[in-house]
Each structure stands twice: as C-alpha cells, then as structure tokens.
Amino acid sequence: MATKTYCEMISRSQPGPGDGGNTGSWRVKRPIIDYDKCIPAKTKKRACFTCWLLCPDCVVSKTIPPAINLDYCKGCGICAEECPAGAIEMVDEASQTGKEK
C-alpha cells in the first residue's frame, strides 16, 4: 500500500507581524514627538522611555531619540497622555496625510 500522508492540515499559526493588517490605518490621531522636549532626545542619554514601556502595540523604539512605527501605531494616545515631558502631541490624522512622517 502506498503510504498516505495524514494530517496535512491543522490550524497551527506561525508568528508574524500585521495579522490585523496595517493597523496604522485605524488611527484617527497621530502621535508626534517633539524632540526638543523629549528627555532622551534632548539629553542624548538613555532615560525616560515611558512611551516605549506603555505602548500597547510595541511600536515605539527604545532608542535615542525614540521613534514610532506609524505602519502599526493605532493612535491610542497613551504615550502622549503619559509622557512626563509633555513631548508627544496627538494631531488629527487628516491634517497629516500626505505629509512626510
């Protein structure tokens, strides 16, 4: 008997980004970091990173200065609300479309 291959299909998913698509398109408001106010940007030292810690969607980098991946940022505004330096502003997405970063 030819050996049959069994179980060629099970629901086993592989890790990868963007299961929900480019969730950046969900955004109504866009976070913009003012590097003149942002502590690590200003001091050039590893400091603060509150926005990185609290971002629900892992889209802020822990870098000097911190950067936001707008492909996936959902625009919740938690980073802006919690930034101790008031360095992040949420601006209307509509006013930004077309503009570079």
Partner 1 sequence: MAEKTTILNLTEEEFVHSGNRACTGCGLSIVYRIGLKALGKNSVLVVPPSCLTVLQGLYPVASTKLPCVNVTFASTAAAATGVRSAMMALGKDDVNVVAWAGDGGTSDIGIQALSGACERGDNIIYICYDNEAYMNTGVQRSGTTPQGVLTTTTPIKGKLQVKKDVPAIIAAHGIPYVATASAAFPLDFYDKVKKATTIHGPKYIHVHTPCPPGWGFDTRYTIKVGKLAVETGLFDLYEIENGSFSLSAPSQRLVGKKRPPVSDYFAAQGRFKSLDTDMVNTIQQQVDAKWAA
Partner 2 sequence: MHIIESGNVAAATGVKLSRVQVIAAYPITPQTPLTEKLSEFVESEQLTAQYIPVESEHSAMAVCIAASTAGTRAFTATSANGLLYMNEQLHWAVGARLPIVTCVVNRGIGAPWTVWNDQQDSMAQRDVGWIQLYASDHQQIIDSVIKAFRLAQTVSIPVMVCYDGYLLSHTYMPFDLPEQSEVDAFLPPFVPKHFLDPENPGNFNTVTLPDVRPGVDGTMRPGYIEIRHNLHQDLRAALDSYAEIDREFEQRFGRGGSPFVEQYRCDDARFVAVAVGSLSYQLRDVIDTMREDGIAIGVMGVQMYRPFPDQAVASALAGKECVIVFEKALSYGNQGPLYSDIKSTLYRMDDRPIIHNYILGLGGREIKTQQLLDALTESCARPAAIEDTPRWIGLKLQEEHHG
CB of 45 to ligand SF4, least distance (A): 11
The string of DSSP letters for 39-66 reads: HHHHH-SS---HHHHH-TTS-B-SSSS-
CB of 48 to partner 1, least distance (A): 7
- Alpha-carbon distance of 59 to 77, in angstroms, equals 12
Tokens coding 68: 């936001």
Nearer residue to partner 1 within complex by CB, 33 or 52:
52
Binding site for ligand SF4 (CB under 6 A): 31, 33, 38-40, 48-51, 55, 57, 59-60, 66, 68, 73-79, 83, 85, 87-88
When asked if residue 101 is in the footprint of partner 2 (CB under 8 A), the reply is: no
- Alpha-carbon distance of 25 to 30, in angstroms, equals 10
When asked if residue 22 is in the footprint of partner 2 (CB under 8 A), the reply is: no
Nearer residue to partner 2 within complex by CB, 21 or 86:
21
Residue 60 · residue 66 · CB < 8 Å = yes
Binding site for partner 1 (CB under 8 A): 11-23, 26, 46-50, 52-54, 56-59, 62, 69, 71-72, 74-78, 80-82, 90
Q: What are 29's strand-pairing partners?
A: 92
